[in-house]
Structure 1
Amino acid sequence: MKQIIEKINKLKENLNKWGHAYYVLDKPLVDDSEYDKSLNELIKLESQYPQLITLDSPTQKVGGVVMDKFEKYKHKQPMLSLANAFNEEDLENFNDQILKEIENKKYNFFVEPKIDGLSISLIYKNGNLFKGVTRGDGIYGEDVTSNVKTIKSIPLSISDKSEYVEIRGEVFLSKNEFEKLNKQRLLNDEEIFANPRNAAAGTLRQLDSSIASSRKLDAFLYYFMDREKFHTHSDSLKYLETMNFKVNSLGKICNNIKEVYEHIQTILLQREKLEYEIDGVVVKINDFDLYEKVGYTAKSPKWAIAFKFPAETKQTKLKNIFSTVGRTGRITYNASLEPVQIAGTTVQAATLHNADFIIQRDIRIGGEVKVKKAGDIIPEVISPIQDENYFSLKKWKEEKKCPQCHSILERVEGEVDQYCINSQCPRKIVRGLEHFVSRDAMNIEGLSIKIIEKLYDNKFVSTVSDIYKLNKFRQQLIELDKMGEKSVKNLLESIEISKANSLEKLFFGLGIRHVGKKTAKTLALSFKNIDKISTITFEELEQINDVGPIVAKSVCDWFTIKQNRELIKELNELKINMQYLGNEGTKNNDKITLKSFVITGTLSKPRNYFKDLLEEYGAKVIDTVSKKTDFLLAGNEAGSKLEKAQKLGINILSEEQFLEMIGE
């Protein structure tokens, strides 16, 4: 079991890191196939060991993260992501799951390309464009209306004059426009975009709408949200076309999985000739009336799936291997490559993960290598080409010292990664500061990685507590290159505001290994202040839902270090809040808070309504019934989950009983 726990935690760490780079920074680290492979491995392990599912698992996450520079807008209905299929067998399994829910009912599918861009929700009121909102984290998106209005394929007014009309789709940049944009950026000595998806995301998030207008974004619309108006997805698309929306012409009705797979192959053959990037195909039930019947998981609808295309593989020369060090001290190896075109983009760098990855594959500097890319992110070196030149090259040896501070690297027992354990390593310090000020941690605006590096190099900051002493250096900061009086004023105000954050923000920001955002919230909610967390025993921590032995040991170990205890004391003296304050909408109910719920069957309102309600009370909503499940909220036609809950003796609640429990 120990190895399983370690494997799950490793997968979660990687997936959360990759997701942050992809959705927030628009600087992806791995390709789609690597991410999907790891995610599917995690899903499989969690289905086998549901007691190990935690709130911070990527499998519980809906989508990306909301950027701070735009106003947030709450989606009327969550914008969910899709589960993935990679072959015909996966599609058949998808169909089998549908049959379990709607046996003996006829249905067909609608198959359309999966556009590689940025998801958008368009809201029209009385026929006029009211809002353009990104998916964000699935619940709250970014209001990018001013930029959406510059997209020529999106009408500012439509013929449907209903009070509220919502249409969803994908904003993208054509291959041609992408090439033009990167050529111009090279001329301006600017960093080029990695791919059209990143370029589209970066454009839609420009504060200056004139920049968005100059880049000629485009959009395909594919989802009319008012299901009561039409019975099928295909009919709703025809309606979108009558309102002058751009609808993809490759969409097709298929009567069974065999036809679905055939049409996928047809689209795949046309992929390279298309004027826009696609990374797969979306398959969904065509009949709207069946959506609620088939239902949803916490992350995605069960009535739709994304068929992901296989990774494209190319050959090129490996010029060099270099390493970087992260905030935890973990060493990551990367490849510098001769430029090669993969999936429409020029690739010059790739991930090599860790030393074991390179050694096991015997990858050598100066040799030819195979590189794969799923069409959208920084690729991975798969293997060397063992040609006549290969065996004359020197075998690569792992680095023994940190690339930044030159301290001896160490390995944690049972892990493949090397670590720099020097607490004074400059890169670790800078990355730790970057993490502390990030949105999910203390949320201090104005402290980008470049500013942090300047502050560190000029000896203004070396620990997180130094951030709260920057007001002493106000004039020096103003004189610092490109800071300026207004920027410094805003920065110091943001630092002061952050002092009042609830405990979970601080606790996450401390960067304790294995403590993610959700775990930090769980611990803050459970113990209310940092003093209690710092004195809690390993055994007590291990008993907390979503914590477990690895996180418990990590937390206990962190507080045994004198330097860390002194940091907490200093932050307290600097008037940083150390108490759990709760968040907006959080309610307390001893019967529900910190309990785990599974929702099944048909209820009076969509499942997401009850999920949101439960989470307001601090409950955890999971998809699988296990011995650790506290309650099953069961509606009509509950099915196999109800049977399993009855066998395990789980508390079963009807909708009426649940509402009575919360006093509504």
Structure 2
Amino acid sequence: MMQRMKELIFALQKADTAYHKHDQPIMSDREYDLLYDELFALEEKTGVLLAGSPVHKVSGELLESLAEVTHTRPMLSAGKTKSIDEVFRFAQGRKMVLSWKLDGLTLVLRYTAGVFTQAITRGREGLVGEDVTHTAKLMSNIPLRIPYTDDLEVRGECVVGWNSFKQLNDGLEEPYSHPRGLAAGSIRKLDAEAMRNRRLEFLAFNLISDHADSSSKWEQLRHLRSLGFDVVGHSVLAVGASHQSLSDAVALYNPEQYDYPVDGLIIEYDDLSYGRSLGSTGHHENRLIALKWQDELYDTIFRGLELATTRTGMVSVTGVFDDVQIDGSTVNHAYLHNLDILDKLELGIGDRIQVYKANQIIPQIAENTTRSGTLTIPTHCPCCGEPVVIHQTSGGTRQLFCENTQCPAKLVRKFVHFCSKTRMDIEGLSESTLEKFIQHGWVKNFADLYELDRYKAQIVATDGFGEKSFARLQAAIDKRRCCTMNQFIAGLGIHTVGRHAGRDLAQYFHGSWAAFELAIQENFDFTTLPDFGETMHNNIYSWYADAEADKLWRPLLQHITFIQEEQIMSTHTNNPFSGKNIVATGKLEQYTRQSIEAKILSLDATPQSSVTKTTDFLIVGAKAGSKLAKAQQLGITILSEAEFEAMLEA
């Protein structure tokens, strides 16, 4: 028994470090809870408590690079259970407050004379935390000043909402597997600016003060809200509530309908004085208890792995299995966070496995009852076919990586640029959608976007897609089988050759792509064109000579028909803008970026993208920036939108 306890403590400590310090879990919550419960049972049975046991101290690690701060009061955890019966016995018929158990990073905010002065993480054993004031100040919903003059501390959770997580994670160089990792990794960054747009939020759940503390938990939460804090979602269980009333109250908390990640509920005595009188252990306070979700296991058959390569080269691994119905939805995929988890499961195709929804949201593989171990670690990138290698992360876990610098998965930005509104303007191909298609190997070059019908069955089965959404996407793609030469050139991503240069090239070569290519082959001097310098000239030739770039765009010519851009030129060339160079900047009220350019062209004028000595007019809207400053420096005529319209009318 003693040896087993030591093994359990070692495994749990290792998992704590990976989870709290590196934000890279090496085991599922369910696996952690099983080991934790086993250790707790052994300690109860033997009466022996070994040093380092996580059962009797709060988990948490410090990053060496953040300053340490001692908490004024220990940041203890909550006892936990998965039994409604145990919660009912805990309540003792008293008035209770139920609230979400948020799955983020716990913070303490300190206020002095009503002014926010410090933010601290839970840190080591709830006694010494990390100073994260520099990043917390950038969180949009933390009040920097509150209507209260005495000192106080507010405890709460730093979280990222599900919607924000999905939007943000797609744009990160190193994506996270769960919002908690994004929240913890962002708030602990040394460079505060690096997390400014991470959409972190603070939800308060406890107030500590020698003066402002009320006698009721319910009133305390109301007081926190009156001070300007967002508080965790909560409700009240009345005095003398029955077992059924408790069950009904718990059932109202559906994690799938809450905006933030959670891993259970907190049930706390409303009478704060009574709660404090119960004291605490080294691990948790006796005034509250956490109800963890009961993991209902479902049997199914494992069918294989699905691989996807991210823009960083990391190859994510997802387990695929026969459909099971969990909480009213069909589940057939479960993300495997790293190779260590894959190894532990000893999977093989046809194995009988048990799956569940962690915290009633995220599908996970709980157990492999067959354990054939016949599945081999993938050896090639699903996107480019090149061999993959195994990297060990700073947290000690192993991940698959594709090191091919030309792997299409790493070219997501080029595809996003090509499909954007000001280029080929293909609706429905967002960055996240493109990344999915590229990760699965369905899109390797621009031409593949026009042949997605080859993968219709797989796309329709992809999360977020269906028959109707695929039909809409296909219609949007078909709509862009005809384009102007300047749209096409702008979409190719030739360095420094954008929309304006594309329009000039299209005009010079009369919209003929063949004429443009022939000119390059015959060493045409592009510096002879207006506003084309040596840099743009060289960039065109470098792009054309790039064999890898050629593979990306040339097959597309089979799917594209070039059309002439219709330009309605003004019949009155004596308008004040005829023959002039015009730049528009800032947010205009009556024009979009495209429509103001079309208007300028219709006036027999030339739209420019940047302010130079050749610029005649600058039209400015709201939030005009550096272009306005440069125009003022060069003495260029500056017009408001109203002044521009007035000159036209005159």
User: TM-score scaled to structure 1, two decimals?
Assistant: 0.50
Contact 1:118 1:171 in 2 (8 A): yes
CA displacement at 1:288 relative to structure 2? 1.4
Counterpart of 1:25 in structure 2 is: 22
Q: Residue 160 of structure 1 aligns to a residue in which SS?
A: coil
Alignment of 1:353-392 (within 5 A): 363-365=347-349, 369-375=353-359, 379-383=364-368
Is residue 2:199 matched to residue 1:212?
no
State the alpha-carbon separation in 2 of the partners of residues 132 and 355 from structure 1. Answer: 38
Question: Take 1:48 and 1:30, find their aligned partners in 2: how far apart are those partners?
Answer: 26
Match of 1:300 in 2: 284
Give the structure 2 partner of residue 241 of structure 1.
225
Structure 2 counterpart of 1:127, from 108, 111, 114 = 114
Deviation at 1:239, TM superposition (A): 0.9
Shift of 1:195: 0.6
Question: Equivalents in 2 of 1:377, 1:348: separation in Å?
Answer: 9
Counterpart of 1:112? 99
- 1:165 to 2:148 alignment: no
Is 1:146 aligned to residue 134 of structure 2? yes
- Measured in 2, the distance between the counterparts of 1:117 and 1:133 equals 14
Alignment check: 8 A CA contact 1:318 1:336 kept: no
- Which deviates more, 124-133 or 40-49? 40-49
Whole-Å separation in 2 of the counterparts to 1:377 and 1:77 = 34
Query: What is residue 33 of structure 2 aligned with on the other side?
Result: 36
With 59-68 and 130-139 compared, the bigger mean Cα shift is at: 59-68
Q: Residue deviations 1:187-228, cap 9 Å, x none?
A: xxx231001111111111122222222111112101011265
Tell whether the 8 Å contact from 1:253 to 1:286 is kept in structure 2 after alignment.
no
- CA drift at 1:173: 0.4
- Helix, strand or coil for the counterpart of 2:9? helix
State yes or no: 1:91 paired with 2:68. Answer: no
Partner of residue 524, structure 1: none
Match of 1:74 among 70, 90, 100: 70
Kindly report which structure 2 residues correspond to 1:390-409, keeping only aligned pairs within 5 A, or say none: 395-396=372-373
Distance 1:159 1:354 in 2: 49
Q: Give, in angstroms, the shift of residue 78 of structure 1.
A: 0.9
SS of 1:64 mapped into structure 2: coil
Q: Distance in 1 between matches of 2:207 and 2:365?
A: 37
Q: Whole-Å Cα distance in 1 between the matches of residues 30 and 45 of structure 2?
A: 22
Return the offset for 1:299.
Answer: 0.7
The C-alpha deviation readout for 1:587-618, integer Å capped at 9, x for no partner, is xxxxxxxxxxxxxxxxxxxxxxxxxxxxxxxx
1:396–1:63 CA distance, 2 compared to 1 (3 A): closer
Query: Letter of the aligned partner of 1:223 in structure 2?
Result: N
Is the 1:121–1:135 Cα contact (8 Å) retained in structure 2?
A: yes
Looking at structure 2, the residues matched to 208 and 355 of structure 1 have their Cα atoms a distance apart, in angstroms, of 34
Distance 2:341 2:194 in 1: 39
With CA pairs under 8 Å and 6+ residues apart, which has the higher RCO, 1 or 2? 1
Q: Structure 1 369/318 Cα, relative in aligned 2: closer, same or farther at 3 Å? A: farther
Whole-angstrom CA distance in 2 between matches of 1:336 and 1:64: 29
Corresponding position of 1:337 = 319
The match for 1:57 among 50, 53, 56 is: 53
1:12 maps to amino acid: I
| Secondary structure of residue in 1 paired with 2:286 | coil
Alpha carbons 2:121, 2:132 under 8 Å: kept: yes
Aligned amino acid, residue 273 of structure 2: D
Superposition map of 1:426-465 within 5 A: none
Structure 1 residue 175: deviation in Å?
0.7
Aligned-residue sequence identity (percent) comes to 25
Q: Is the 8 A contact 2:353 2:365 kept in 1?
A: no
In the alignment, structure 2 segments of 5+ residues that lack a partner are 308-315, 379-389, 400-650
User: Residue 226 of structure 1 corresponds to which residue in structure 2?
Assistant: 209
The aligned counterpart of 1:284 is: 268
Instruction: Tell me if structure 2 keeps the 8 A contact 1:73–1:133.
Output: yes
8 A Cα contact 2:267 2:288, kept in partner: yes
Distance in 2, matches of 1:356 and 1:181, equals 30
The answer to whether 1:14 aligns with 2:1 is no
Q: Which amino acid aligns with 1:14?
A: A
Contact in 2 for aligned 1:310/1:374 (Cα 8 Å): no
CA separation of 1:128/1:372 partners in 2, compared to 1, >3 Å: closer, same or farther?
same
Q: For 2:134 and 2:281, how far apart are their aligned partners in 1?
A: 34
**How far does residue 248 in structure 1 lie from its aligned partner after superposition?**
2.9
Question: Deviation string for 1:243-288 (max 9, x for gaps)?
Answer: 11112343324324634433111113xx212221111110111111
In the alignment, which residue of structure 1 is the partner of 2:174?
191
Deviations 1:485-509 (A, max 9, x none): xxxxxxxxxxxxxxxxxxxxxxxxx
The alignment yields a C-alpha RMSD, in angstroms, of 4.1
Per the alignment, residue 163 of structure 2 pairs with 176
Distance 1:69 1:318 in 2: 44
Alpha-carbon distance in structure 1 between the residues aligned to 2:53 and 2:70: 23
SS in 2 for 1:280: strand
For 1:349, the aligned partner's letter is L
Q: Which amino acid aligns with 2:214?
A: F
1:221·1:247 contact (CA, 8 Å) conserved in 2? yes
Indicate how the Cα distance of structure 1 residues 8 and 147 shifts in structure 2: closer, same or farther if over 3 A, else same: same
Matched ranges for 1:256-295 at <5 A: 256=240, 258=243, 259-268=245-254, 271-295=255-279
Which whole-Å CA distance do the structure 2 matches of 1:217 and 1:357 have between them? Answer: 34
d(CA) in 2 for partners of 1:78 and 1:160?
24
Larger radius of gyration: 2
Say if 1:116 and 1:279, in contact at 8 Å, map to a contact too.
yes
The number of residue pairs the alignment matches comes to 370
C-alpha contact (below 8 Å) 1:154/1:219 kept by paired residues: yes
Residue 61 of structure 2 aligns with an amino acid whose one-letter code is: V
Residues of 2 paired with 1:127 and 1:33: CA distance? 42
Q: Give distance in 2, aligned partners of 1:148 and 1:316.
A: 46
Shift of 1:22: 0.8
| Counterpart contact for 2:98–2:268, Cα < 8 Å | yes
Are the aligned partners of 1:33 and 1:310 in contact in 2 as well (CA < 8 Å)? no
Matches within 5 A, 1:424-573: none
Letter of the 1:136 counterpart:
G
CA distance in 1, matches of 2:247, 2:208: 26
Task: Render the CA deviation track for 1:545-586: whole Å, top value 9, x for unaligned.
Answer: xxxxxxxxxxxxxxxxxxxxxxxxxxxxxxxxxxxxxxxxxx
Contact 1:364–1:396 (CA<8 Å) still a contact in 2?
yes
Distance, in Å, in 2 between the alignment partners of 1:93 and 1:39 is 22
Distance 1:148 1:306, change over 3 A: same
SS in 2 for 1:129: strand
- Structure 1 CA distance, aligned partners of 2:110 and 2:317? 44
Once the two structures are overlaid, the 10-residue window that deviates more, 216-225 or 26-35, is 26-35
The answer on whether the counterparts of 1:127 and 1:158 sit within 8 Å (CA) in structure 2 is yes
Q: Cα gap change, 1:354/1:272 in structure 2, threshold over 3 Å: closer, same or farther?
A: closer
* Contact 1:317–1:337, Cα closer than 8 Å, also in 2: yes
* Cα pair distance change 1:13/1:379, threshold 3 Å: farther
Q: Pick closer, same or farther for the CA change 1:145–1:260 going to 2, 3 Å.
A: farther
Quote how far apart the aligned CAs of 1:235 are.
1.0
With structure 2 as the length reference, what TM-score do the two structures score? 0.51
Return the alpha-carbon distance in structure 1 between the equivalents of residues 104 and 296 of structure 2: 18
What is the SS of the residue equivalent to 1:267?
coil
CA distance in 2, matches of 1:242, 1:368: 53
Aligned to 1:37, the other structure's residue is in SS state: helix
Distance 1:308 1:230 in 2: 28
Following the alignment from structure 1 to structure 2, what is the Cα–Cα distance between the partners of residues 147 and 76? 21
